Amino acid sequence: MMTLHLALKPSRVISPSRIWLGATRFNVQGCKGFGTTHIQRSGKIPFQHTELSTKARKLVESKISLDGKVTVITGGSRGIGLELAKTAAALGSDIAILDVREPDESIAQLQEAYGSRFVFHQMDVTSMDGMEAAFDKVVQKLGKINNCVTCAGIALDKPFLEHTWDESRRILDINILGSFFSAQLAARQMIKQGDGGSIVMIASIAAHCAIPAQRVSIYGASKGAIKLLGKTLAVEMAPFNVRVNTISPGFIETKMSAQFEDIQEVFRSVPPMRRIGQAEDLALATAYLLGNGASYTTGADIAVTGGLHNGRIEL
């Protein structure tokens, strides 16, 4: 039996569904324990906490900690964005949620639960003026921007032959231009501050392949653009130590995926891992990309799809 638990910042919680007050716990399958590192093999003395293991643990903690950082999350009012906001807060970051809609959870309660500063500004990613004003307000209120997660997005499931100009234009405006200019505003502020930063753009499995049972051609095109932007911006921003990476979620259980009522069974059965993903399945991929541990990672895409982006053996 092996136990590996990293005690990060006391009194942080990583998810409301798992209230771990006292310490943030990362469970490794088949492991148990708390706050210490134990490796037990049959017939052997349990692994003792040593000076070296304490040092090593502190090193890992420092690489994942977001203490003292400010993270902006577009589309952070619900679903994946809200979960990633909580993840960053659990790791010590102050949080700015920028979204066209009010958050599903109270900002005051989030602040109290996570012990980080949370602010919300209403912002529509299709308005450049509105975005500039919102990013300015973040800097006024929280002092700086170190990380940005571009999560605001909409989907359209419709046959290619029936897509209209206006609805297709709207997908591209929100998903591509909204993410592109959010990243630009964040990068400008990071460059002004002079100490780099991390931008994580949320793409999709639709950027990798056609999605079983969904007709999301223009949505897929918009997410393909995000995946490529992750690479081109990574190269252009590298001299400023601003890292840009993307995450491609598979089917994730949120209000967005819930609107596709007739294919819920597909979401649950077609991924090779045989389940729909949860927003928290994206948490540690995001934490990695935001943290100093990823200081040499830029232009990467992490596909969190239950294996679906690789294909399927069965129908």
Ligand X SMILES: NC(=O)c1ccc[n+]([C@@H]2O[C@H](COP(=O)([O-])OP(=O)(O)OC[C@H]3O[C@@H](n4cnc5c(N)ncnc54)[C@H](O)[C@@H]3O)[C@@H](O)[C@H]2O)c1
Q: Is 101 in the site for ligand X (CB under 6 A)?
A: yes
Beta strand pairing call for 94-99 and 37-39: unpaired
Q: How far apart are CA 274 and CA 264, in angstroms?
A: 13
- How many chain residues bind ligand X (CB under 6 A)? 29
Burial of 80 (0-12, 13-18, 19+ CB in 10 A): buried
Nearest to 313 by CA among 276, 275, 277, 270: 270
Q: Is 254 in the site for ligand X (CB under 6 A)?
A: yes
Q: What share of the chain is helix, strand, coil (3-state, %, to 5)?
A: 45, 15, 40
CB of 192 to ligand X, least distance (A): 24
Q: How far apart are CA 273 and CA 228, in angstroms?
A: 26
223 catalytic residue (yes or no) = yes
Among 72, 80, 183, 225, binds ligand X (CB under 6 A): 80
The pair phi, psi for residue 169, each rounded to 5°, is: -55, -40
Among 67, 105, 124, 132, binds ligand X (CB under 6 A): 124
Question: Which residue, 33 or 181, is less far from ligand X as judged by CB?
Answer: 181
CB of 154 to ligand X, least distance (A): 5
Q: Is 249 in the site for ligand X (CB under 6 A)?
A: yes
Q: Is 207 in the site for ligand X (CB under 6 A)?
A: no
Q: Is 255 in the site for ligand X (CB under 6 A)?
A: yes
Close Cβ partners of 191 (under 8 Å, ≥ 6 residues apart)? 240, 242
Question: Which residue, 8 or 207, is less far from ligand X as judged by CB?
Answer: 207
| CA angle, residues 197, 200, 205, in degrees to nearest 5 | 165
Question: Which residue, 146 or 246, is less far from ligand X as judged by CB?
Answer: 246
Q: How far apart are CA 6 and CA 63, in angstroms?
A: 12
Q: Which of residues 154-183 bind ligand X (CB under 6 A)?
A: 154-155, 174, 178
Question: Which residue, 100 or 300, is less far from ligand X as judged by CB?
Answer: 100
Residues that bind ligand X (CB under 6 A): 75, 77-81, 99-101, 123-126, 151-155, 174, 178, 202, 204, 249, 251-252, 254-257
Active site residues: 204, 219, 223
